[in-house]
Amino acid sequence: MLSSMTGGLWDDAYLHNRVPWDIGRPQPAILRIADAGELQEPVLDSGCGSGEHALLAATSGMIVTGVDISRLAIERARAKARQRGLSAEFLIGDVLDLPNVERLDPPFRTVIDTGCFHTFTDDERVRYAESLASVVEPGGVLHLLCFSEGTPGTAGPRRVTEAEIRATFQGDWRVHRIWSDTFAVSNEWIGDPPHAWLAHIVRL
């Protein structure tokens, strides 16, 4: 079973440009969500990487925070915010333990997860759902974009089934809807764009 990587290993991936998920712009699926007015502040970008989705929310003047375990990813996100003249908080921290992330200021109304959930083991998925629930207000929404089992081959992260999403987000959550979508990737990715699930999940 695949395990999530440590901060140092994620840093190494960014340092050597082995980051096909980092496309230098928001995922099209999240752009559609933003255009539909479905991002409400305060926003948490969970596993934010170099910050494109947090910065997307910041362009609308929203209060937004990005959290990632990779120090290098956070440094790049902060640099982008400065270069673009945008206000967004970027914090180094473990999304499996959000209550203990220094300077995090919950509760959040919206969470964006693009490519974080599919890095976790089964046990970590449960911890992740609990961690998010602890910092999201009732009625808050998680927009989750992850690789689906429809992606051919074995390259890249672990595939996720619709049933696995529903099994993970229960108790504190209600899965409102799951759509079939695609995951945009850089030229580092070989092959067709990966298949994805886009889930709309509500905090009870």
Domain CATH for 138: 3.40.50.150
Is residue 30 domain-resident? no
In this predicted structure, which of 26-30, 43-47, 114-118, 152-156 has the lowest mean pLDDT?
Answer: 152-156
Is residue 19 domain-resident? no
Is residue 59 domain-resident? yes
Q: Please, what's the b/e burial string for 157-185 (b: 16 or more CB within 10 A of its CB; e: otherwise)?
A: bbbbeeebbeebbeeebebeebeebbbbb
Is residue 190 domain-resident? yes
Cα dihedral 75, 76, 78, 82, rounded to 10, equals 130
- 193: pLDDT confidence band, cut at 50, 70 and 90? confident
User: How many domains, the chain?
Assistant: 1
- 190: pLDDT confidence band, cut at 50, 70 and 90? confident
Domain residue limits at 187? 40-203
pLDDT (0 to 100) of residue 34: 98
Whole-angstrom distance, CA of residue 52 vs CA of residue 56: 6
Is residue 154 domain-resident? yes
Per-residue pLDDT at 3 exceeds 60: no
Whole-angstrom distance, CA of residue 136 vs CA of residue 142: 9
Is residue 119 domain-resident? yes
Q: Are 61 and 84 in contact (CB under 8 A)?
A: no
- 6: pLDDT confidence band, cut at 50, 70 and 90? low
The per-residue pLDDT for range 135-163, each reduced to its tens digit, is: 999 999 999 999 999 999 888 899 999 99
pLDDT (mean) for 85-98:
98
Whole-angstrom distance, CA of residue 103 vs CA of residue 43: 15
pLDDT (mean) for 35-51:
97
pLDDT (0 to 100) of residue 56: 98
Is residue 26 domain-resident? no
Is residue 89 domain-resident? yes
pLDDT (0 to 100) of residue 53: 98
Per-residue pLDDT at 1 exceeds 60: no
Torsion angles phi and psi, residue 144, rounded to 5 = -115, 120
pLDDT (0 to 100) of residue 2: 35
Token couple for 3? 């395990």
- 121: pLDDT confidence band, cut at 50, 70 and 90? very high
Per-residue pLDDT at 84 exceeds 50: yes
